Structure 1
Amino acid sequence: MPDVLVLVDHDGDRVSTSAYELLTAARRLGDPAAVVVGTPGIAARLREPLARHGATAVLAAESTEAAEFLVTPAVDALEAGVREAAPAAVLVSATTDGREVAARLAARLDAGLLIDAVDLDSSGVVTQIVFGGSYTVRSHVTHGTPVITVRPGAFEPEEHPGQAVERTLTLPTVDPAASARITGRRAAPAGDRPGLTEAAVVVSGGRGVGGAKGFEAVEELADALGGAVGASRAAVDAGYYPHRFQVGQTGASVSPQLYIALGISGAIQHLAGMQTSKTIVAVNKDPEAPILDLADYGVVGDLFAVAPQLTQEVAARRAVG
């Protein structure tokens, strides 16, 4: 079977859940080959968990300057992998960086690009949600090596243990004049909640929470469920919650097992980023709120009455479970 290149998101010590999802998706097309970009030694550290999730090869694209530049080393590594292996496709997670990597790679290869896939079949046909969630389309690349970005959460990561051979991809020297250099790093505030795009449960608040303090009810429910906190664009623009938690067309796209929307009306911009969630629960005092039409379960009521009761019930059941 042909190789399918998968760009591995990692922090140097841990592989992201989205990378395991890509390996699962890649098996539909061929043999997953995990491309690890970083400083020397990283690929060896990550080979075992990647092999456990189905990688048949780990392509080490390592150099001392790989961590000094944004995006460019990843594009260089994938281009080298395509030139060497002629893969069936290249899969990249549809994160902010991933979208840029995929676009630049497709331009270099003169190849077709499909973005934000939510499904993928064995023939390479991709399912996408387009025009703000208004349409579902099926597409495939007709020219060159398909470059596909996959929405985090669209696939359930599955273990598929095997042996992964390690191969080396030689990275060219980065041209500093044509690349963005990283001049400093600052860690995001640490917390016990899972990452927004990797969480199985996301609880989001909108303008209806009324202010930053209103997000306490959102956080309490998320913590009771072991989930992540999200926010609508309206809530972020109003200063209720930081931008990095925004869900929607101009924020993060999520597809968790459970999505709870508190005080979110359901603007198209927001629905585009979460409507592929497996189960959607919405709480809104407006019975005409568009999100209630999308929700699997809708509650018309005051979120500050409903959310605390739900939090208490979840905590009570966990206590006896």
Structure 2
Amino acid sequence: MTTKSSNPTSSGVKLVTIGPEQAGQRIDNFLLTRLKGAPRSLIYRILRKGEVRVNKGRIQAPYRLREGDQVRIPPVRLGDRAVTTPAERVLRQVEASILFEDKRVVILNKPSGLAVHGGSGISYGVIEAMRALRPDAPFLELVHRLDRDTSGCLIIAKKRSALRTLHELLRESRIDKHYLALVKGEWHGGPGRVEAPLKKNVLSSGERIVRVDPEGKAATSLFRPLAVNPTASLIDIKLETGRTHQIRVHAAYEGHPIAGDDKYGDENFNKQLRTLGLKRLFLHARRLVFAFDDDGPHIDISAPLDASLHDVLTELKLEFHE
């Protein structure tokens, strides 16, 4: 896909030529991916008013795009503010975090504190930054998500076919996902399998929280201790399912809440770790291993821990070799 801007500094109108990856999409769904954060009501309004044109003509929401179509996308405002472009500092941070890239995917070492996408009061995230960095990229979509405070391996698909394949691999648990977590106390024994169903709840305050509940969805995590002492343990965690907050809830359920977790953690433990320099959740998506097909090469990517987390391990005298 080729993206052209028509005097973007004054009008903000974009002219986008549809490539093979976008062909077949409904125009409303296409606009939702291009105008991140825009509600559907706004998308339908600009379609009804004719502000969106395909090949210079009006179209309706069910219209399916064809390769070669030229789409006119008007500038939009969300409430009283325009769709936010990520700050230059964030763009540099995201660009520097790229671990691997080929024609199908980009894999990043997502920084802690940066959301994967905008929404719910967040102006932008990793995916918006990548689209700003690659304005001519025909397709960029998140394959999966990480919590805002979790760092590590994050996959972005560069082709719709790659996104479909990776979603299938995730459903079939054919992507090995390993995390590093620093948890409270001494982990006794060797590797352990945690099978505890998880259910999303909303508190009276409106806060969303996940709890172990027999009526919840099945969730399985494999915990393997790497280094332990009476204060804390460093654990490798492999996910067999990918539920919201799964590792954090399973760790707390086992009596070993994750350091720096202000939702499911231990307040006194968190205070103790702050005196050692921990300023974030100690949860890191350490490694991803997968193959696009049975006969193809394996993609095996590891994301290094940042220096601040290494410093905490040094203070705790927990030896760990990546």
- Both structures adopt the same fold (TM-score exceeding 0.5): no
Greater Rg over alpha carbons, structure: 2
Question: TM-score category by the smaller chain?
Answer: under 0.3
Question: Which structure is higher in strand share?
Answer: 2
